[in-house]
Amino acid sequence: MPLLTDVHLPATQMVSVSKSYPGAAGPVPVLREVTVGFPAKSMTAIMGPSGAGKTTLLHCAAGLDRPTSGQVLLGETDLGACDERQLTLIRRSRIGFVFQQFNLLPMLTAYENVALPLRLNGGRPQRAVVMEALRQVGLEDKAGRRPAQLSGGQQQRVAIARTLVVQPEIVYADEPTGSLDRQTGRQIMALLRDLVDRAGRTVVMVTHDPVAAAWADRVVFLYDGQAVDKIDNPRAEQVAARLGLWES
Ligand SMILES: Nc1ncnc2c1ncn2[C@@H]1O[C@H](COP(=O)(O)OP(=O)(O)OP(=O)(O)O)[C@@H](O)[C@H]1O
């Protein structure tokens, strides 16, 4: 499924990416020659049955894991050609990652959590930059709170602000609404959508929820480690029907 002809050039392009894990009877393939692009300034959802390889795909795309073979291009940078130090720098400065469980540091305030990537990059965080990231997620008035003093949805907003603070080229999110109730999940999806439409960000998200996937511009379906289908401008019922094919 090469997407090189899309209107928007891909922020990330995965070419023939395979990934195996060692098993008792030899390598177990989890991704099989997946070719997919994530167009810039758009939102892509990745869906598929449990064990299809969605998280593995996201981790390979984000440089958190290395494919067994194939190529991952972030813009023009071939992640496979980078050593660990270069990859760490790229992950810190060009890629954002949002987790289902927020992964905030509990002893730090919202402000300090958001400032952390700037500190890790060796800079002295500018207050205006950190506050602007918090403003983008609607939490400038909660800067002094610790995660335990925030709701789940607010914690996920802080986690999103933490990715935005470095102005990443692409934000990956693994089940960003998976730990939230439906109403809060909708607010998080509206926020991610807004980041694409208003701020020109690129978002790629794994989800099990057809309603969340319907916020995306495109849904890519993974099945048994292969990209088998896609729907552009998806509607939730369409996505649910496509997923239902695997359940029957
Ligand atoms: N570090 C690992 N070592 C060995 N096997 C792994 C590892 N990580 C994932 N797997 C296996 O790879 C397969 C795909 O896992 P992955 O988490 O990518 O699937 P998924 O589609 O995200 O599933 P889910 O929807 O259940 O989260 C699974 O069979 C899993 O057990």
User: How many domains are contained in the chain?
Assistant: 1
| Confidence at residue 2, expressed as pLDDT on a 0 to 100 scale | 45
Instruction: For residue 127, tell me if it sits in a domain.
Output: yes
Flag whether 134 is in a domain. yes
Ligand 1 proximity of 55 Cβ (cutoff 6 Å): yes
Q: Are 91 and 136 in contact (CB under 8 A)?
A: no
Q: What pLDDT shows up at residue 246?
A: 77
CB atoms within 10 A of CB 93: 15
Predicted local distance difference test score (pLDDT) of residue 248: 59
Any domain includes 115: yes
CA of 138 to the centre of ligand 1 (A): 34
Q: In a 3-state reduction of DSSP, which class is residue 181?
A: coil
What pLDDT is attached to residue 191? 93
Nearest CA to ligand 1 atom 27: 50
Residues of the chain whose pLDDT is less than 70?
Answer: 1-9, 248
Is 234 touching ligand 1 by the criterion CB < 6 Å?
Answer: no
For the CA of 48, the closest atom of ligand 1 is 21
In a domain, 34, yes or no: no
Is residue 145 situated within a structural domain? yes
How many other C-beta atoms can be found within 10 angstroms of the C-beta atom of residue 233?
Answer: 10
Residue 140 CB contacts under 8 Å (≥ 6 apart), including other chains: 131, 134
Position 123 scores a pLDDT of: 84
Burial class for 6, CB neighbours closer than 10 Å (0-12, 13-18, 19+): middle
Do residues 175 and 208 lie in contact, with contact meaning Cβ atoms separated by under 8 Å? yes
pTM above 0.90, yes or no: yes
* Residue 91 near ligand 1, beta carbon < 6 Å: no
Q: Which domain, by its residues, includes 111?
A: 103-167
Does the beta carbon of 225 sit less than 6 angstroms from any atom of ligand 1?
no
Residue 245 has a pLDDT of 81
In a domain, 138, yes or no: yes
